[in-house]
Amino acid sequence: MCNAFNRFMITILILCLFVMIMPVKVNAAVTIALDPGHGGDENGADYYGEKEKDVDLKLAQYVKEGLEEYDGVNIVLTRDKDEAAGLKDRVITAYNAGADMFISLHCNASVSHKSHGASVYISTGEARRQSLRDFADLFLGEFEAIGLDNAGTFARVTQMGRRREDGSFDDYYGVLRHSYNYGIPAIIVEHCFMDSIEDWKFVRNEDGIKELAQADVRAIAAYYGLTSKDGTTYEGRHARQYGATTKAISYSYFAPPKLLSVKLCDYNNASPSMAEYEVDIEDGVGVNYIYLVYKNGSGNSFTVNLMLGEELKTGQYKLKGYIPDNLDLQYYTLSYVGLYDKVGFDAGYSNSGGKLIGFGKCDWLNSFAYSGEADLSVKEQKAVSAVLKERLNYEIMMGIRKRQCVYPLEYRR
């Protein structure tokens, strides 16, 4: 009896000593890399006296300040002043700091100056796609709560047709591409449109920028389950409908546009010139933007924006596009076609191995055989004159330019 008791006590003593010498397990800190977009000579969007590079830096500083109110989180900035920083260098800074997440902070602008709202871009790669969608959903939920429209979550494929070893297309955006290659989950947050009257209140003063930054902090805290200094946690808000934009909800339409074919119908082999294309698309609410990216053997590229007078629903259309001047007279091949529809969803089709392969929102779309129907070659250069006038008149019609700026003599008394 005594021997058994002694053995029991010795066992308890050994266990106590083992517990005492074992390291105490604590929640590991999460390291967040905040990447203020642009910097140095690169201003980014520049409207109403505000430069995006300055807004992005203030956002990062306020987000850092807000996250420091939580336990178990480390913050690193890829730039902490107005300086140029290479896209890969930013990711290397995050990698060297052991970052668990790379968040690039930006504001947006549109060609037509009619877009508004907040959007998030994630990688086209398979790794962590669902968790990054969930992260984006928390950001968009917070932005909706402060009065911004949800402009959507997107993944944009490269326009040059490059693929990863697993067969998926590379990312269009450099910070997402490099982050994926370095094994760091990454997102780009486009907080609002700086050229939008509706969104302008969020970037015109410190209070608006702080409000955006606080939304970022809440989304990050909710995603990682961070505990604040006072011991509280925040569950977060979700977008009103997962994976949908504000416009998609209002129209009850949630499918990205699909491209079925694209052909070059009429082109006089000159630069500058107008070319005519035939496109076959599927979309229930109407495509309002289509562009084609060409590249040549030297790696040079140019973009042809097709002229759409109205939204294009499912059907086949003949559309004109402006072939810019000063091309280098080499052969160009269609490498990418991009489409946006009325509810804000997009699709990108990359040329690879004789096929145009599509990626819309965050999902793969259809692909179809491509045998060069939309290729073109430039054989001669012409004067701009009538060609440019046709393009300018289209931009006036679309509201991109003001008629009094293009034709000032008409407005002189």
User: Is the pLDDT at 25 greater than 50, yes or no?
Assistant: no
User: pLDDT by residue (tens digit) across 234-245?
Assistant: 999 999 999 999
User: pLDDT by residue (tens digit) across 208-257?
Assistant: 999 999 999 999 999 999 999 999 999 999 999 999 999 999 999 999 99
Among candidate residues 364, 378, 369, 400, the one with its CA nearest the CA of residue 288: 400
Please report which helix (H) or strand (E) contains residue 266, including its range.
Answer: strand 258-266
Length of the chain: 413
Region label for 40, one of left (φ > 0), alpha (ψ between -120 and 50) or beta (otherwise):
left
User: Is the pLDDT at 330 greater than 90, yes or no?
Assistant: no
Cα–Cα distance, 281 to 243 (Å, whole number):
22
pTM above 0.75, yes or no: yes
User: Is the pLDDT at 192 greater than 50, yes or no?
Assistant: yes
List, in sequence order, every residue forming a beta bridge with 46; answer none if it has no partner.
51
pLDDT at 10: 54
3-state secondary structure (DSSP) of residue 347: strand
Residues whose CB falls within 8 Å of the CB of residue 405, separated by 6 or more in sequence, listed in order: none
DSSP string, 138-161: HHHHHHHHTT--EEEEE--B-SS-
Please report which helix (H) or strand (E) contains residue 318, including its range.
Answer: strand 315-323
List, in sequence order, every residue forming a beta bridge with 263; answer none if it has no partner.
278
Cα–Cα distance, 196 to 117 (Å, whole number):
9
